[in-house]
Structure 1
Amino acid sequence: MPRNAERGGPRTRARIAEVAARLFLEQGFDAVTVAEVAREAGVSSVTVFNHFPRKEDLFLDRSAEAAELLRAAVRDRAPGVDAVAALRSLTFRLVDERHPLSGLDERSVPFFRTVAGSPALIGRAREIAASLERTLAAEVDGLLAAFFVAGYATVLVETARRLIAGETREAVLDGHRARFEALFDALRNGVAG
């Protein structure tokens, strides 16, 4: 298929994200321009911005997926299953799958290093967390949403710290799971109970 035929489609978006991630991981987020990403992906800078509103979103490109996972977890839960149980089920499913949003994906270490090395990415990650909190608060109690998102982020930051320090994913897994269990115990006893 000619490049022009797919400029606006999901394949173009995926190619742009793949190229951007590779360049950011190789050179550092702040050292790469959107124009360089566009050139390497074979599209214009306008096309890049049509798919990604900000440069930071080229690297932190799972916010829509995260929002949809949160919505689906609480909206599609079975009768009798409360929001805390639904969020716990989602969280541990992501951990068991080593999903990128779990912090345990095989690419997590370079991802975390790149984010930690860029104030712009750290700032955008905080904005995304605030947006996810608002998304979840539209479905459940706002206090529960705030505690869940803050707790989840805290677990990820600790896991990132340990992985960046050189521990293996296998070595951090038990602590990662234990911190999530502690989060859900606190949500159950301190927020939902």
Structure 2
Amino acid sequence: MSMPGDRRSRKRLETRRIISTAATRLFLERGFEQVTVDEIAAAAGVGRMTVFNHFPRKEEMFFDRDDEVRETIRQALKQRQTTVSPVETLRLLAHSLVAQNSPFVEFSADSQHFIGAITGSETLKARVRQIRDELTQLVTTSLIDCVNAPAHDPDACLTAHLVLATWSAALAEGHRRWRDDQHRDNARTAFLAIIDKGSRGISAAMCGTPYV
């Protein structure tokens, strides 16, 4: 039998999903800057304060899967096999996400609308830069934890920066390739080619460290 707490949790998640879905639709239709929180609340059928209870900032409604991305990276490194290096683990994660049709590495008309909304908003572009910095710190910490390295290990920091640069370049190339021919498999191949090439470069650069 479900406990009251379970029902509350499910209801909260469903409300969050409804708000996020309504917000995303409005953002893509009209642009992020042109949509108000009151309009999102009305579209979702909830009160203004309910929106803020789930999303303290409007940007969080747009990047509503950010926490999932972070947890995916964290768990991949936490659960890696000791025979597989951290850098290789993240390379394999990219291949796994593509094989699973993960929305994190989607190349489609929908993803182009998403990218277009970011390009058209200074607020969203600023948030993208913040997210990248936050992900770099998360990867740094996760790398240190998964090999029991000393805190503030500069090699972990450098590795994390190189990993994020590789993934950023790979995603950009995948989206560019999709814009060129609207062929998902070509976009995926381009994305993974950069991931593989970047991972080889990181392994060469960080040779002698516990991260490769």
TM-score by length of 1: 0.89
Extract unaligned runs of 5+ from structure 2: 1-7, 144-155
Larger Rg: 2
In the TM superposition, residue 152 of structure 1 has moved relative to its aligned partner by: 0.8
Supply the distance in 2 between the matched residues of 1:80 and 1:168 (Cα, whole angstroms).
36
RMSD (CA atoms): 2.1
In the TM superposition, residue 180 of structure 1 has moved relative to its aligned partner by: 1.2
Which of 37, 51, 67 is the aligned partner of 1:64?
A: 67
- Tell me if 1:32 matches 2:35: yes
| Identical pairs, percent | 34
CA contact (8 A) 1:162 1:172 kept: yes
**Residue number in structure 1 paired with 2:151:** none
In the TM superposition, residue 161 of structure 1 has moved relative to its aligned partner by: 3.4
CA contact (8 A) 2:76 2:93 kept: yes
CA contact (8 A) 1:29 1:118 kept: yes
**Residue number in structure 2 paired with 1:44:** 47
**Residue number in structure 1 paired with 2:5:** none
Extract unaligned runs of 5+ from structure 1: none
Change (3 A) 1:51 1:10: same
**Residue number in structure 2 paired with 1:169:** 184
Which of 6, 9, 16 is the aligned partner of 1:13?
A: 16
Post-superposition Cα deviations, 1:139-188, rounded to whole Å, max 9, x if no partner, equal: 21111111111221122123233434563323322212211111111121
Matched residue type, 2:34:
A
Q: Which residues in structure 2 correspond to 1:168-187 (within 5 Å)?
A: 168-187=183-202
In the TM superposition, residue 107 of structure 1 has moved relative to its aligned partner by: 2.5
- Tell me if 1:189 matches 2:192: no
In the TM superposition, residue 97 of structure 1 has moved relative to its aligned partner by: 2.0
**Residue number in structure 2 paired with 1:157:** 172
TM-score by length of 2: 0.81
Which of 125, 134, 153 is the aligned partner of 1:122?
A: 125
SS state of the match for residue 66, structure 1? helix
Q: How many residues align?
A: 189
SS state of the match for residue 51, structure 2? helix
